[in-house]
Amino acid sequence: MLSKLSIKNYALIDHLDVSFTNGFTSITGETGAGKSILLGGLSLVLGKRADLSALRDKDLKCIIEAEFEIKKYKLKRFFKSNDLDYEDRTIVRREILPSGKSRAFINDTPITLDILSQLGNQLIDVHSQHQTLQLADNDFQLKVIDALADNKAVLEEYSDKLVVYKKTSNELEQLIEFQKDADKEYDYNSFLLKELEEANLKVGMQEELEEQHEQLNNVEGIMEQLSKGEQLLNDEQAGIVSLLSELKLTSSKLSGFGSQYTELNERIQSVFIEIDDIANELQFFQEQIEANPQLLEVVSGKLQLIFDLQKKHQALSIQELLKIQEELSEKVGVTANLESNIEKLQEKLLKDKSELKETADTLSKRRVAVLANLKQQLQDSLDRLGMPSATFQIEIHPSSDFKSNGNDNLSFLFSANKGSNYGELKKVASGGELSRIMLTIKSILAKYEHLPTMMFDEIDTGVSGEISNKMGDIMLEMSKTMQVFSITHLPQVASKGDQQFKVYKTDENDTTHTRMKELTADERVVELAGMLGGNDLSDSAMAHARELLN
């Protein structure tokens, strides 16, 4: 409940501090006294966007602070999810700076306007002419039906399943779109992959082929140099092998004359063995090497294929080509498996849809089951409010779409008079009738769910004194389980309040101020008498006022 409200430097209000009790509070005052200003200030602390023109003194900041008792509101989860300190007595503050900037706080913690608005919607329900238009909204109408059907748990289950269904549906849609693009590239990617796979590429392959190509392409020069080397080693008269043989013989003879000669002989023997091995290897190479134009052509072809692939794929090495081959393989594999994945998702979507439809059907059945009760309650309440012939035609039909609150289409039609055709509320109900219907619906909702503080802004406009008296009774009944405010011009409604406040203007030093005060019992009599008979406070008006209060 709203326990305190403080407004500073807002419109015609320089400073206002008021405290409220639980139950029913009526707020009265002459037209133009500033009741709308009070609501405007309250709306700012509930999250409405600020207007710099609302500042009374443009050089000072506007501060609006409201204290709420929220123990029964079950808001601890909201506070925790938004990293806020929870207090049973929570203070909400809004500041509008002269610069035009706005700041908001919950228990002195800075918050965004969005969070403030979310909390405000759970603290006070301000009924205005705009909200009366909600009566024609199917979502609002279904909310009323769901309250009677106690559908909260089923709606939560439906909402969870709807999230799963939409997620699967989006995944399927994206995969089908991806398949369209992938199919266009599949053939080309498959061709590129096959080309790379047939090249049978391996790391180091290019270097080996280039070396083999160099040898095959220079066979004659290699043979010439091998022959020359072999001749230098094995020439009978001046060959290196022949000369080393003589040197080996000489060193062998010296080895018997001392250890130093023995060591020298061993070194010469080692050199001879190495040179002799080289000579044999040169001879072997000569015997092995031969011109092979066919092999040269094969090696040249393989190298050219590698160069062509590197150019096509803008690669610098075999390693890069192998990486591209791996990527192409993945793409082709994914495309090849798309059909299977799509079929699996389609099966999952059918399963999700079936489960969602089952819960939606449960919602529908529970809604249909309470329609007669809702119609009866509406008609009985409106009968009390001077609309004895008011009837409703409420029907629920299945929809092909899954909406946020089920897959029902709701037909909510109204007739105010016998013999009149049924029509949509916004088309066939007058302003006064809409106000009475909204009050009736709010009173019904109050029986089935815990509503926040309710503030009715002149909901009794356009109704007679007797009807307003009954509207006041309904608000008084609602106030037994919740805090109710009524801004009213009718004494019959104002008299029902457990407490009554008067909004009025004063002129001080050529400046107009809006004030608000709680009326004493005697002041309430005078105020109500004035509302009954104008400025002429006749004995009969005073007596009537006392009668209303009693």
CA distance 36 to 487: 9
- Confidence band of 160 (pLDDT split at 50, 70, 90): very high
Residue with tokens 């509302």: 531
The pLDDT assigned to 25 comes to 95
Residue with tokens 């599949």: 186
The pLDDT assigned to 19 comes to 94
CA distance 230 to 286: 9
**Is pLDDT at 49 greater than 90 in this prediction?**
no
Tokens of 190: 């498959």
Residue 210 identity (one-letter amino acid): E
pLDDT tens digits, residue range 444-475?
988 887 778 999 988 887 777 788 889 999 99
550 CB neighbour count, 10 Å cutoff: 6
CA distances in angstroms from 246 to 130, 251, 281, listed in the order given: 124, 9, 22
The pLDDT assigned to 509 comes to 81
pLDDT tens digits, residue range 280-325?
888 777 777 777 788 888 878 888 888 988 888 888 888 999 999 8
434 CB neighbour count, 10 Å cutoff: 20
Residue 166 identity (one-letter amino acid): K
Is residue 132 within a helix (H) or strand (E), and if so which, with residue range? Answer: helix 129-132
Of 215, 146, 84, 213, the residue nearest 366 (C-alpha) = 146
Is residue 539 within a helix (H) or strand (E), and if so which, with residue range? Answer: helix 539-549
Strand partners, 13: 10
The pLDDT assigned to 89 comes to 94
Residue 102 identity (one-letter amino acid): S
**Is pLDDT at 533 greater than 80 in this prediction?**
no
**Residue 141 per-residue DSSP state:** H
Q: Are 25 and 497 in contact (CB under 8 A)?
A: yes
pLDDT tens digits, residue range 282-294?
877 777 777 778 8
**Is pLDDT at 107 greater than 90 in this prediction?**
yes
Helices (H) and strands (E) in the chain, counts: 18, 15
**Is pLDDT at 220 greater than 90 in this prediction?**
no
Residue 490 φ then ψ, to 5°: -105, 125
Q: DSSP secondary structure string, 476-495?
A: HHHTTTS-EEEE-S-HHHHT
Task: For CATH 3.40.50.300, list the domain ranges present in the chain.
Answer: 1-127+451-519
Tokens of 335: 């495309």
pLDDT tens digits, residue range 367-422?
999 999 999 999 999 998 989 999 999 999 998 899 999 999 999 999 999 888 99
CA distance 526 to 549: 11
253 CB neighbour count, 10 Å cutoff: 10
Of 503, 426, 418, the residue nearest 26 (C-alpha) = 503
Q: Are 461 and 432 in contact (CB under 8 A)?
A: yes
Is residue 219 within a helix (H) or strand (E), and if so which, with residue range? Answer: helix 219-234
Q: Are 429 and 128 in contact (CB under 8 A)?
A: no
Q: Are 154 and 362 in contact (CB under 8 A)?
A: yes
CA distance 473 to 384: 10
- SS3 state at 415: strand
**Is pLDDT at 133 greater than 70 in this prediction?**
no
The pLDDT assigned to 501 comes to 95
Of 213, 284, 276, the residue nearest 244 (C-alpha) = 276
Mean pLDDT of 154-180: 91
Percentage of the chain lying above the pLDDT 90 cut: 40
CA distance 368 to 362: 10
Q: Are 452 and 444 in contact (CB under 8 A)?
A: no
**What global pTM score does this model have?**
0.68
Contacts 24+ apart (CB under 8 A), 394-403: 394/145, 395/371, 396/364, 396/367, 396/368, 396/371, 398/364, 402/162, 402/165, 402/356, 402/360
* E-strand stretches of 429-525: 453-457, 484-487, 499-508, 511-518
357 CB neighbour count, 10 Å cutoff: 15
CA distance 207 to 340: 43
Strand partners, 10: 13, 55
Mean pLDDT of 138-160: 92
CATH of domain 1-127+451-519: 3.40.50.300
The pLDDT assigned to 116 comes to 93
CA distance 476 to 267: 124
The pLDDT assigned to 131 comes to 66
**Is pLDDT at 134 greater than 90 in this prediction?**
no
Cα 40–chain centre separation: 30
CA distance 89 to 104: 17
**Residue 34 per-residue DSSP state:** S
User: Which residues, 6+ apart, have CB-to-CB distance to 330 below 8 Å?
Assistant: none
Start-to-end Cα distance in the chain: 26
